[in-house]
A and B are shown apart, each in its own frame.
Chain A
Amino acid sequence: MAAFFNKGFGRKRESTASDRIPPGQYETPDFPVLSAGPTPRIALANWTFKMEGLIEEPVQWTWEQFNALPQQSFTTDIHCVTKWSKLDTKWEGVSFDTLLEHVKLLPEVSHIMAYSYGGYTTNVPLEGLRNSKGFIGLRYDGKPLTPEHGGPARLVVPHLYFWKSAKWVNRLRFMEEDEPGFWERGGYSMYGDPWKEQRYRSDDSDYQASLNDD
């Protein structure tokens, strides 16, 4: 029995897949939109995607070049820190592992900062992205990703809370040490594992442990 419980509170609907819903989350069929500012306007003709930082040679793609990279389909559950989870979301895009084939990492790389049109940033450990754990999403549910959901291209890191999946991504910087991004500077978790409910920085007591688990 729970130490404290709300008298009369009962579970209203059993999720169709409870074992896929992390603690404190609920399943939604919708795809809610959350962003801190206006949706940026990005002309595909001017769109670029760049990788830089602790790599031997920085690399940059145009929209056309990026779309010519090998793409894969991904079906994955996503979990937003504002408590909703959405199961079996269908994406197409370029795997982070594919991107890594185009650069040579310096041995000291441990983390990545993702940058977006509009000024958003978020930090992710290198190991949280490689080995099929992260991709750049270009299409959602069979259609080009819409601007309010992060189109034309969005980082997708489904095993972390969804603020790590930077909308409108245009740059990845490889770093030697972890640094906080936009929400992380505002008190949100540095790592953001939904299964450990790492919502806020003070939930990060086992932050190191969660890195070792991966």
Chain B
Amino acid sequence: MTKVAWQLGLVKAIVQETPRIKTFSLQLPAWQPHLPGQHYDMRLTTEDGYQAERSYSIASPPGQIGEIDLTIELIDDGEVSAYLHEGVAVGDSLEVRGPIGGYFVWRKELQTLPLLLVAGGSGVVPLMAMLRHRALIGAANPTVLLFSVRTPAEAIYRQELEALAQQDKQLTLLFTFTRQAPVGWTGYQRRIDRAMLTAILGRFPTLPQCFICGPTALVEQAANTLLDLGLSADSIRTERFGPTGT
């Protein structure tokens, strides 16, 4: 078992993805290839030694050698995310360790299997790593990304996703805007439901492998509906985040 040791990553670039989401590119002295879907732990330390840790999904594919991209949402009252968004600049160092996680990950055999990815908000990040990897290796498995966001301003990676879908006939990109759709939008404008998932499953020749990542309510709804529609529990992998509010 390789040691998951802390290392100091150098911030090479910061991209403002949406008003509340930034991507940090970190150059790592002990970089190692990750599996798309894995995460890194980050640790912030105050001058007097207090430390706070969080886990962040890797957005970049393992083909990006020596660097990782972490896409991080600003959480209200978030001790760590607020500092990252407001206090970190290119050239700073951030302490991380990883890659971590062995279940919600891209496995080699997926490149030949139909694949349904369901994202809610910043839950798209680990799925983006999978889609970027899939594009890099030239996989031609039928793949759908169903991406639920409240407003267009929250649609992280939208341009890149649209470009990926345009150049790849096997990749279908489906947004659903649950609060406010772009002007002239003709696609989905509601929360993920049974009719939506039934229509999407109809696009696949055989039942797909599923990865679902987002807030608990979305993950529960999507996973339960897919079970109802005949998918087996072991073909559905989930990752949940965010406050439950209950």
A residues contacting B by CB (< 8 A) are 1-2, 4-13, 23-26, 28, 30-41, 82-83, 118-119, 148, 182-183, 185-187, 199-203
Residue of A whose beta carbon sits closest to that of B105: A186
Cβ 8 A contact of B55, one of A1, A31, A83, A187? A83
Interchain CB contact under 8 A, A24 and B45: no
Interchain CB contact under 8 A, B83 and A9: yes
B95: A residues at CB distance < 8 A: 4, 6
B83 vs chain A, min Cβ distance (A): 5
The answer to whether the Cβ of B109 comes within 8 Å of any Cβ in the partner chain is no
A49 vs chain B, min Cβ distance (A): 20
Query: Known: A26-B79, A38-B226. Is A8-B87 also a contact (CB below 8 A)?
Result: yes
Among A37, A40, A82, A199, which residue has the most Cβ atoms of chain B within 10 A?
A: A37
Interface 9-residue window, one of B135-143, B168-176, B198-206, B230-238: B230-238
Residue of B whose beta carbon sits closest to that of A200: B4
Cβ 8 A contact of B52, one of A7, A24, A119, A203? A24
Interchain CB contact under 8 A, B216 and A33: yes
Interchain CB contact under 8 A, B49 and A200: no
Q: Tally inter-chain residue pairs, CB-CB below 8 A.
A: 126
B4 vs chain A, min Cβ distance (A): 5
A85 vs chain B, min Cβ distance (A): 12
Interchain CB contact under 8 A, A12 and B79: yes
Cβ 8 A contact of B241, one of A7, A32, A39, A119? A32
Cβ 8 A contact of B44, one of A6, A28, A40? A6
The answer to whether the Cβ of B94 comes within 8 Å of any Cβ in the partner chain is yes
Interchain CB contact under 8 A, A32 and B234: no
Selected A-B contacts with CB under 8 Å, 26 pairs: A1-B48, A2-B46, A2-B47, A5-B45, A6-B45, A6-B46, A6-B83, A6-B88, A6-B92, A6-B95, A8-B83, A11-B46, A24-B51, A32-B243, A32-B244, A33-B240, A36-B104, A37-B234, A38-B223, A38-B224, A41-B227, A83-B55, A148-B216, A186-B102, A187-B4, A202-B3
Cβ 8 A contact of A9, one of B4, B45, B223, B238? B45
B236: A residues at CB distance < 8 A: 37-38
Cβ 8 A contact of B93, one of A4, A36, A187, A201? A4
Interchain CB contact under 8 A, A202 and B2: yes
Cβ 8 A contact of B49, one of A2, A7, A38, A39? A2
A32–B44 alpha-carbon span in the complex (Å): 22
Interchain CB contact under 8 A, B83 and A38: no
Residue of A whose beta carbon sits closest to that of B49: A2
The answer to whether the Cβ of B43 comes within 8 Å of any Cβ in the partner chain is yes
6 interchain residue pairs of minimum CB distance: A186-B102, A24-B53, A38-B223, A12-B79, A30-B243, A202-B3
The answer to whether the Cβ of B183 comes within 8 Å of any Cβ in the partner chain is no
The answer to whether the Cβ of B112 comes within 8 Å of any Cβ in the partner chain is no
Interchain CB contact under 8 A, B224 and A39: yes
Interchain CB contact under 8 A, B244 and A5: no
18 A-B pairs besides A6-B45, A32-B244, A83-B54 with CB distance below 8 A are A2-B45, A6-B46, A9-B46, A9-B87, A24-B43, A24-B53, A25-B53, A32-B240, A32-B241, A32-B242, A35-B238, A37-B233, A38-B226, A38-B236, A41-B227, A83-B55, A187-B100, A201-B1
A116–B13 alpha-carbon span in the complex (Å): 44
A24: B residues at CB distance < 8 A: 43, 51-53
A10–B45 alpha-carbon span in the complex (Å): 8
The B184-242 residues at the A interface (CB cut-off 8 A) are 216, 220, 223-224, 226-227, 233-234, 236-242
Residue of B whose beta carbon sits closest to that of A147: B220
A201–B103 alpha-carbon span in the complex (Å): 16
